[in-house]
Each structure stands twice: as structure tokens, then as C-alpha cells.
Structure 1
Amino acid sequence: MSSYKGKFSVKIMLLLLLVTIVGASLLGAQTHASAVPSVSTTLSAKSKEAADLNDVAQLTAFIDGIMNVHMDNFKIPGAVISIVKDGKSLFSKGYGYSNIKDGTLVDPETNLFRIASTTKLFTWTAVMQLVEQGKIDLDTDVNRYLTTMTIPETYPQPITMRHLMTHTAGFEEGGVGYQITTDMKKLPVSISETLAKHIPARVRPPGEMMSYSNYGAALAGLIVEEVSGMAYNDYIQKYIFEPLDMKHATVQEPVPASLEPYAVLGYARENGQYATRPLTFEGGFRPAGSGSVSANDMAHFMIAHLQDGRYGDQQMLKPETVKLMHSPSFQFDKRLPAMDLGFIEMNMNGLRVISHGGADELFNTEVYLVPDKKLGIFVSYSGGDGGVAARGLMQAFFDRYYPRKEDNQPPTSAMLENSVQKYAGSYQFTRRNHSDIDKFFNFLTKISVTVSENRLSIGSGTEQQVYAPIGTDLFQEVGGTNKMGFRTDAEGKVTYLFLDVFNPLPLEPTPLIDQTKFWLPLLGISVIMFISVLVGFAYRRREMREMPKGQKWALRFSATTSAWGLVTLVATFLVVLNMDLIVRLSRITQSLQIYLFMPIILVGLTVALLVLSVLAWKNKYWTVLKRVHYTLVALSAVSLSVFFYHWNLLGWHFG
């Protein structure tokens, strides 16, 4: 399952986890995340001077120390790392087991780790090969290259390959029921058929803003197929893996029989023990995340990208193509990390790093390239909190070998400090769904920016991050290097928020109708009203016997609607919102299909209740106070129905 799990600081990631729904896309390290800063500090703070990276013995001891601590703390059964420098392999080593039952140790030369979204680097490299051959133009409508499907012309501006490579095509996010599969019998799956069946809505003009998209990457892989005349798997094998002597690498699902013995198993913790778990497959989305590769083979790929496209006597890309691919292609703000052609920029201790991560529930992978230092690092973990471990490892590595120089935090001016209030508010990721049932899974995923003493804050308590203004629409973390930028319109109103640790996942202001502070009070009031009806109904049963028939039916309908509303609301949060991520993305379950009848039935009951409310006033049922209460119950049912409608839970909205 390809993911956008990328370059998050530990504190920011914890913040998101605090507000992310159970089973949301950012799975990971809640238990041990706070340990990462202490590990990094302990291992790297002793040396203010840069250590000698060419001292392999010291490097080995350093990496061993971190990996052993992380694998124990973060419950990781197997891991691998390779480091390249100046065109050669500097370090490569496996840790733990590729197969615990058989006692097979991880071998960096042969063992295949699933790299999820890091696969996109192969796809983007294939695209650039066709670009330099003149078969693809970065700025031409992608529909020109597609023969089996057409992207709808929602906006006057067409989507181009540059938009796909910078995640600025403007697609909404989707995936419920179709993004992955766990059934090997369904493979292989056609990329073209999958993408044609599940075209996501275009929700913003192309080129306007980033929104990380697996669909966009898969679409680029389809274009590779249709332009080259070769199947995606075959193209990557022939024009990337073979020239780079990557004998233990594949994008095929499942892995070829010849490589199957080398595939690392995926594990999860169960009753204090490691238990194997079935793999997930990308199917028709494989250009976005189906890769499996050994650390040594990934070293070849990194060397080629760091050595002007050359590995040994093979030229994978021309030097000018590599330079273009590694250069900024979309920038939220020139003062913040850019999005290159497929590579995500980040800043590590003042160094410009281009990178890409990937994660599913069983594997976590990171690739970091530092073009100016000819340095590349690949690290992958099977099971456990590998994402947190990778970030801790990288920070410790850069602190030791490329320590940050003393920062003189830019001074702030009174003018900047006095204008921070406009940035406060709730923000939601641009990477979200708008038109399908997937939208509901963003209900609780928001970030709140608050103002305190002319500073902006995210989070609270020990996880709070405070940002001070250092320029127009630009803030820097107090005591740190993380930056926060905003875009504003001509009237000065905020349109987008960018946190450099979330590149390429910007946010935008959350309209009131999408905010929990709007819906939760309404839902709470509805619950109270429904409970009051049920309690009153129980106590008034004897009184009801003496009522006219019309009043009896009115009360019965009120109680029925209240009970159904409560049951539906509970089912929404316990059944739908709490769905297992793998189940949610791989199939439409029978329980979900059945659940979706419940909001529809509620709407029917609500309409009847509204009619009875009118009759209650017309025929003067009960006292005025009781009629007011009855009407408020009907309005509560309306609020709940509108909630289901707004979050695409009214009907079967599948992508």
C-alpha cells in the first residue's frame, strides 16, 4: 500500500497522530515516538565537530548502535541499510531476521524489502528516460499519450506530466474498496483498466497546489506503458534494473518465483510475539508502490542518480536530465523546500536533501540523497515503528557527520508580530477526498494553529511547537529549524499553509462546515434530545394509553427515530470510522454495504417526523412546551441527516 509517509519530524507526527482517526493513513509509532529525540541526542550530541565518514569502523559502530537500540525499542524484526558516497558503496548491512521461524538473517545483498511509495522513483526515472528521448513532453496534456482512457477536462488547463511528477495535478484522494488487494489470486491486474474505472475527481486547477497522489503516479506508469509499448513491469526491468545490475529488484506482484526465496516476510506484534501477516498488493496502482528491492541493488540506483545518471559503464539518464529531475519544479515559497520532478526536498542541518519515503502496514522505507555531497542513504524496516526509527536514524546520522552550524534566529519585527492573528485557525490537508465515502475518514484529521504572545503554536503540552515570524508569511520554530509558510490572497486572507516537515502535503483553511467544532456540538445536542425522547417515552407509556391515536403515533415515531438515530450514529463511529485500514482499502465489506442503509432509513424517519411536527402544532397536541420539544427532536434528526449527507454517508458513494 503506497503511502505518503515521508519527512515528518517526530513532534509533528505525534501531533497528527493525536488528531488522526483510528486506522487512518498515517499508521505508526505512538508508543515509542518520544524516544527518538533522546536516542539521537545521546548518540550524536557528544561530537560538535563532524566525524569522518570515511572511517568505516567508526561508521559501522555508530550505525550498529542506533539500529540495535531502535530495533529493540520500536519492536522491529528486520532492517537493512546501505550508504553510498562518491560513486561507491560505503556501508551495507542487514539487521535482525528476514524469516524468524527459519532463523534466516537479513542479507543486504539478496533480501528484498517492500519499498511501497519509494517505487515512484523508478516510475519517475522511467518517465525522464522517455522525456530525454523526445517521446514525452513535460508540459503537454497527458491525454495526448493515453490511448485506453481519457482524463476529464474539468478545468481549462490540462494536466501535464510535470503536474503528475510534482503532485500538482489537482486530483482528490481516494481508495476505499480498491486501492490495494490482499488476494493474490486477483493478480495480475491491468493498470489501464484500474485507472479508467477509478478516476478521481479533479478538485483544483492543475499547477495551483500540491496534493500527494498515488493515482497521479500510477497514471504516469500507464503513460510509460502506452508510450513505450511495453508493460510497466517489463520496462522497469529492462531499462532500469538490468542496466544498473539490480538482480534482486522487481516491481512485479507477487515477486517472481526466482526471487521469492529472498523476499522478507512482514510481521506484526501479537501477544508480545512477532506474527507473520499477509502482504498487500498495489494491483493496478503498482507504479505508485509495488517495488521490492535489496539494499545493495538500491545502492546502485542511488549511485546512478548521484553520478550524473551513470552506474559503471551504463548511462541510465543523461547528466542534464538528472540535473533537471533534481531541480525545483514546484515551490510553495522560494524560502521553503521545493518539490522536484519526483523527488521531495527537505533540509537536514542546512543541507539540501532530495528524498522519498514509502510505507505500508508491514514495511517502512526511506531514501535520502544529498547531491552536493554525492551521498545516498537507503534504509528499510519490516514491521514495528520503522517510520519513527528511520527519522531518528537520519537525524542522528546528519548530526554526527554533518552537524548543524549555530543558528542565529532571524530577528522579528513589531510589524510582523502584530499581524499573526490572521494565521490562526483550523487547517486540513489538501490530500483528501471530496466526493466519495472516503471523505468521512478526514472528519477528525485537522491541525489547529493558535496564537499566543504573538507566536503561532501547534499542539499542546510537551508536544507543542511554537513558531515566530521571520518574514512575510514565514515562521520558524523557536529553538529549532522547522519552518511554516502561508499563502495569502490579494486581501491578505490565508489560502494555504505549508509545514516543511509535511512536504508535499500542504494544508488549507478548514471551512466551518468541515470542522469538528461545528458538528460535534450539533451531534451532542442531537444525542441529548434523542435520549430525552427515549427516557420520556419509557416514563409516559401509561399516559400514552389515554391519548388519541394520532398523538400515540407521533410519540412512537419520535421514539423510533431517536433510537434509530442513536444506533446509526454509534455504528458510524464504531463500525465505519474504526474500520481496519487494510480492509477499508481492499474491499467493500458486507457490513459497510448494510450500514449504508441506516442513514437512508433515518432520512425517511426524519421526513415523517417533520410531517408529524407540523400536525402536532396544527392539531395542538400536548402542551406548547412539549410541542417545542417534539420539534427540536425533529430538527435534531434533520441535523443528523445533514451530517450523513455532507460526509457522503448517505448512499453508496464509492470511487
Structure 2
Amino acid sequence: MWKRSWKAVAAGVLALAVAVPALTQPGTPLAPKPATAESAAAVPITGTSYAANLTKTDADAWLDGYMPYALARGDVAGAVVVIVKDGQVVTERGYGYSDVAKRKPVDPATTLFRPGSTSKLFTWTAVMQQVEAGKLNLDADVNQYLDFKIPDYQGKPVTLRQIMTHTAGFEEIIKGLLAFDHVTPLGEELKKRVPERIFAPGTTPAYSNYATALAGYIVERVSGMPFDDYIERNIFQRLGMAHSTFRQPLPANLKPFMSQGYMLGSGKAEKYEMISLAPAGSLAASGSDMAKFMIAHLNDGGPLIKPETARLMHTPAGNILPGVNRMALGFYEQDINGHTAVAHGGDTVFFHSDLLIWPKEKVGVFISVNSPGKDGAAGAIRGALMDQFADRYLPVENPKPLVELPTAKEHAKMLVGTWTNSRKIGSNFASIVSFISDATVSLDADGRPLIPSVTTRGGAPRTWIETAPFVWQASDGHQRLAAKVVDGKIVRWSVDDISPFMVFDRTPWYLDGAWLMPLFLIGVGVILLTALAWPVAALTRRRFGATLALAGNDRKAYRLVRGFSWLVIGVLIGWAIVITGIENFEAHGSTDWLIYLVQILGAIGFFGLVGVAIWNALRVWTGKRGWFAKLWSVLLVLSAVFVLWVALAFKLISFGAAY
């Protein structure tokens, strides 16, 4: 649900750290939970000619050799993996603990995991059921289904098709997305705050939990029943998913089966996460139940939707960024080894999951872990599992070495610069995070693109080989990078993992941290030294019995400029506390007083410092002051202007605690 986490959103990080950390988890049982009778009965797999070597015996041997070691090295408490093929369960395996303190092993048949944003696939399926029923139109203004209004963007409304392809144009919202005590009713939550639309609809993939929740609310309204009830009656009951729920808190009959969530497998169990925008990620489900859902979609929609509807949901469409993976309708494309899967991943704070199905090959895989582990181990574990699965059972036909184009160095130079992730906040103070951590592209020693935020699983920079015009292939795996060229300039790029729902656009020059950040830091340094010089000079004069050799307006300007310098430094410290606390979902709302305080004091401080610094400089330059005082007065004016520029550009001067 919290796809790639707040830090990834903020920093524009394209992939989680992917090295399996070197920390053994003591005491965790690493033998898998025995397969259930259902999976054992599925040993003889017949049907398509694809993945002919995908048998229970082979899959179990592979998984049992990989998963226990990966969990132990990553300090992850437990995991579930299920594989389906041709309408049957190949295998379902539980590893590690669902409750470390009680030494309770993961049971793939009954242990509930939180698949996060993978929940969206159930919401999209519900939407398409209502489309089939004639109650919804994918291309109609969604306002006709709502009891409140989503504002137009330059006269253009939001449609369900745009919502399902993450192109409605909404900015990200963070505050209150997760809760640990209670959640408000869905409609009430959606009406609290409608996010700004910052892109023209249909033009820019920008992942949106709010938009998905909006679709769930529309299902609720047109069906005439609460969303939770609708999913239970029209999906869970049809598939026999007895260990699944969207309800929050968990129903009493399912609580005993819920896995604990952990930061580290060696750490303490955490509170149960509740999702305020429930249709975007509140599902709790067992591995066996997720297998049933995959089988239904691989069976042309099974008992859920019509075959033509399933094909529509599974068919990648659009061409916003040619050369990399695209959105389908709710699902997103994952082209691996020439075989097209459709997929959805998901992350809460504690649970991390991926679901991939190959419709043509009738094969599917689901993995969920109950801890992020050390150094982002969860991302490495699930990413490597999916890559290894594809290479083992759906390998590339007639593999050939990568051949680099003669244009490689020329085109790589065109990528150099600063880039902003489309999944961003643009209307409030949290936009400062883009300034802190926009993605940068430079060149490596061989003249190829160097992107620090896109690394191998070992943490090293990826080597990119241009194999088609403005399409690069990672030398170490399946990942592709593609760029869009307009009027001879690259204006957008992305990589396969996120390209269906996030892209990088060139940062406008006036927001470009490449030049603005150094000047901002120098400015803060000058202001800080100015502030510190006041007490230091006062103590020095006291020590030697001297007096301040300034009088009248010169003395007043001297004191004002230093007082406002202290005010600005205090405001910046306050903003640092606010921004670093954004990741603490449980604390959301507790710092609202600080947000309002630094907004009020910041407006006074940032503008006031510019004014008094200019006045001080005029007094210094028209008086009989030394060259250092004159030089410093000019530096202080420039510093105050640069800091004010950043404050205005990134909404630090604003009023409101929403983010």
C-alpha cells in the first residue's frame, strides 16, 4: 500500500537496497512449513507447454534453498510464497515465524499477511464488476458517482480509467495514511482532504493511494453496500477465501491467524497497521487465499469477471514512455525474458509483498514478508525471488549478448541533470523533500549514465548499455531504462520497476538543487555564523572590558540582523524536525502545533532577515566600516535572499498542516 515507502517517495529512490544483509537471525526455524493437502495434491502439473520444469519437487527444492538463507541474512521474521500454474497450486511454503516470541511458524494456508498495495487488485476487480453490471463507465467524470466534488484540472475531470492507470494527476498525500488505533469511515476520510491535481489527466503516471480509495468508495456507492461487505460477498465468498479480510480492526475469528509485523526479525512485534484509505491497502490474507485470487485471474477472470474484462485488465496499454513497462488496467506490466507478466507490489511499514501473474503462460507467484529487515532486505528478497523464478522457469529464448549503440555516449550526455519524481507533493511544505533529494544523473568513467539511486542488489551503481535509441539495458539483469525526447532534448525517463506509475521529469532550473542546494547551504552557513557572532562578540568584549563601537541606527541594525539570523536558524531547525518526523506515521498530527509555529515565525523571519540585512548593508557601506564588515554585509544579503527563495519555492512560507 505504501509503495516503496515515504523515504523512497521523498528521495525518488527507484529501488530498495538490494543486498541481502549479513546478519543471521538467531533461533528462527528455517525449515519450511509442510505443504498443505491442497498443494500436495497439485504435484502433477499439466496443461500449457510453458514452464515445463515448474513442478512442486523442483520449486520446493529451489525455494527451500533460497528463502531460509535470505530471511536469516536479512533479519526478516517470516515469509510466505505461493506458486500457481494451469489453475492449480504448484506449491505454497511458509518460512520463519509469524510470531517470534511464541515460536509460531508461518502456515501458508492460514497465516495472514498484509499485502499492502497488492490489495488494489481487489479494488480494481470490484470496479470492473460494476462496469460489467452497467453501473460504472470507465471514461465518465467520477463526480457523477460521488457525494462530494473532485475539482477539474483546467476544465478536465477525473475518470476511472485514469484512476486505474495512475494518470488522474493527483499529488501524493502522506498524513494519516496509516493509523494504529482506529480509522474513520471511508467516505468521511476521502472528504477530509482532496489532494491537489498537479498534472493534466492522462499525461503523467503518478501513483495515488487516494485515487484508489476513491474508486473503492465509488464501488460502495453504486453497489449500495459498504466496501468491506462488497469485497467479501463478490470476491472472497466466490473464491472460497476464508482467511482474508479488508476489515479494520481484524474480525475476532481471524485475529489468531494474523502474523505479527516487525522491523527486524530479531526485534519486537509492532502494532497492527490500519490503513485510512482502506481500498488502497487494508487487505489481510493468507498465501493460500492469494493463490485462489491469482488462479481466478489466470482462468480468464474465473468466477469474478468475464474473459474479455480480464483480458482488458491484463493488457498493457498506452505509450507514455516507450521502451519500458506500461500500465495495464489496474495491473502493471513486468516484461521479463520476453514473457509479459502483470503485477502489483505492496508495502506497509512492516509487510512487503509482490504478486506476478503471466496470463499467457498461466503461471503466478506471490510472496509476502513480515519485516523490512536490515538495510532493506525485504526488497532484495522479493526482487531476487521474482528474477530467479523467471530465469529458472521462463527463461529468455535464444539469449544474445548486449550490443551497445554507437550513439550511447551522445545520448547518455543528454540524460545528465536533476530530475523530479512524478509521485510527489507539490502544494505544501513537504515539497521541500524533492529539493533535498531529487534524482541526479551523471556519467561514469565510460561515458554511460550513472544514477546513484538505481543500484545493483550489491549496492553498486548499475552499468547501462544503450541497446536501442534512448533505451538502456542493465548489464546485470532485466532492468531497462528509457527516455522520452522532445525537440532534441530528453524531458522524461524511468526504469522498468516503476515506469508504469512513476516517471522522472527534468527539474525546472529555478528548483534545481544542483545549483540551489550549494548556495542554500552556504547561505545557511553565513546566517548561522552571523547569529553565533553575536554572543561570541559579546563574551569577548566582556572578557576584555571593551564596548560595542556602534551607536544609533548602526547599533540597531547590528542587533536586528543578528536577532533575525537566530530566528531563521530556529525556524530551519523546526522544519528539520517536522520533515524528519514525516516517516513516523503514528506521530502524524502530534507536531501540527510546530508546523503552524514555524510557518508563522518563518514568514516573519525569512522576509524580515532580507529587509534588515539590506538595511544593515546600507548602514555599513555608507558608514566608516572596514572591508570585512562591508563584505560580510553583502554576503548576508545574498544569503537571506537565497534562503527566502527556497522557502517560497518549496512552500515553507504557507499556512496549513496538511501533507
TM over 0.5: yes
* 1:440 match: 432
* 2:58 match: 58
Letter of the 1:522 partner, please give it. Answer: L
Q: Is the 8 A contact 2:574 2:594 kept in 1?
A: no
Q: Is the 8 A contact 2:83 2:364 kept in 1?
A: yes
Q: Counterpart of 2:124 in 1: which secondary structure?
A: helix
Q: Find the partner of 1:228 among 213, 223, 227.
A: 223
Q: 1:244 to 1:458 in 2, by over 3 A?
A: same
| Residues 1:192 and 2:187 are matched in the alignment | yes
* 1:5 match: 4
* 1:514 match: 511
Q: Find the partner of 1:288 among 251, 256, 280.
A: 280
Q: Is the 8 A contact 2:316 2:332 kept in 1?
A: no
Q: Find the partner of 2:551 among 544, 548, 552.
A: 548
1:513-558 CA-to-partner distances (Å, cap 9, x unmatched) read: 3332223222232233234434654337646534213222221122
Q: Is the 8 A contact 1:616 1:627 kept in 2?
A: no
* 1:637 match: 640
TM-score (norm 2): 0.86
Q: 1:535 to 1:207 in 2, by over 3 A?
A: closer
Q: How does 1:17-416 map to 2 (within 5 A)?
A: 29=17, 32=20, 53-146=53-146, 148-176=147-175, 178-184=176-182, 187=183, 189-269=184-264, 273-283=266-276, 285-310=277-302, 315-383=303-371, 384=373, 385-409=377-401, 411-414=403-406
* 1:47 match: none
Q: Is the 8 A contact 2:613 2:636 kept in 1?
A: no
Q: How does 1:559-578 map to 2 (within 5 A)?
A: 559-577=562-580
* 2:26 match: none
TM-aligned CA deviation for residue 611 of structure 1: 5.7
1:417-453 CA-to-partner distances (Å, cap 9, x unmatched) read: 5444222212121110111122123333322222455
Q: Counterpart of 2:268 in 1: which secondary structure?
A: strand
TM-score (norm 1): 0.87
Q: Is the 8 A contact 1:127 1:224 kept in 2?
A: yes
* 1:43 match: none
| Residues 1:498 and 2:491 are matched in the alignment | no
Letter of the 2:275 partner, please give it. Answer: E
Q: Is the 8 A contact 2:322 2:482 kept in 1?
A: no
Q: Is the 8 A contact 1:596 1:652 kept in 2?
A: yes
TM-aligned CA deviation for residue 162 of structure 1: 0.8
Q: Is the 8 A contact 1:89 1:299 kept in 2?
A: yes
CA distance in 2, matches of 1:379, 1:478: 26
Q: 1:610 to 1:494 in 2, by over 3 A?
A: same
Q: 1:594 to 1:279 in 2, by over 3 A?
A: farther
* 1:652 match: 655
Q: 1:199 to 1:81 in 2, by over 3 A?
A: same
Q: Is the 8 A contact 1:474 1:486 kept in 2?
A: yes
Q: Quick check: 569-578 or 467-476, which moved more?
A: 569-578
Q: Quick check: 396-405 or 88-97, which moved more?
A: 396-405
CA distance in 2, matches of 1:237, 1:586: 33
Letter of the 1:475 partner, please give it. Answer: W
CA distance in 2, matches of 1:446, 1:604: 26
Q: Is the 8 A contact 2:322 2:484 kept in 1?
A: no
Q: 1:88 to 1:594 in 2, by over 3 A?
A: same
Q: Matched residue pairs, number?
A: 616
Q: Quick check: 520-529 or 157-166, which moved more?
A: 520-529
Q: 1:135 to 1:329 in 2, by over 3 A?
A: farther
Kindly report the root-mean-square deviation, in angstroms, between the aligned alpha carbons of the 2 structures: 2.9
1:257-285 CA-to-partner distances (Å, cap 9, x unmatched) read: 1211111111223xx832011122112x1
TM-aligned CA deviation for residue 406 of structure 1: 4.9
CA distance in 2, matches of 1:20, 1:207: 23
TM-aligned CA deviation for residue 637 of structure 1: 2.2
CA distance in 2, matches of 1:448, 1:611: 35
Q: 1:159 to 1:205 in 2, by over 3 A?
A: same
Identity %: 31
CA distance in 1, matches of 2:52, 2:360: 17
CA distance in 1, matches of 2:301, 2:450: 43
CA distance in 1, matches of 2:59, 2:18: 29
CA distance in 2, matches of 1:427, 1:382: 33
* 2:522 match: 525
Q: Is the 8 A contact 2:565 2:609 kept in 1?
A: no
TM-aligned CA deviation for residue 359 of structure 1: 0.7
CA distance in 1, matches of 2:337, 2:382: 16
Q: Is the 8 A contact 1:168 1:207 kept in 2?
A: yes
**Structure 1: segments with no counterpart, 5+ residues:** 7-12, 36-49
CA distance in 1, matches of 2:433, 2:54: 48
TM-aligned CA deviation for residue 578 of structure 1: 5.2
Q: 1:595 to 1:418 in 2, by over 3 A?
A: closer
Letter of the 2:94 partner, please give it. Answer: G
CA distance in 1, matches of 2:135, 2:231: 16
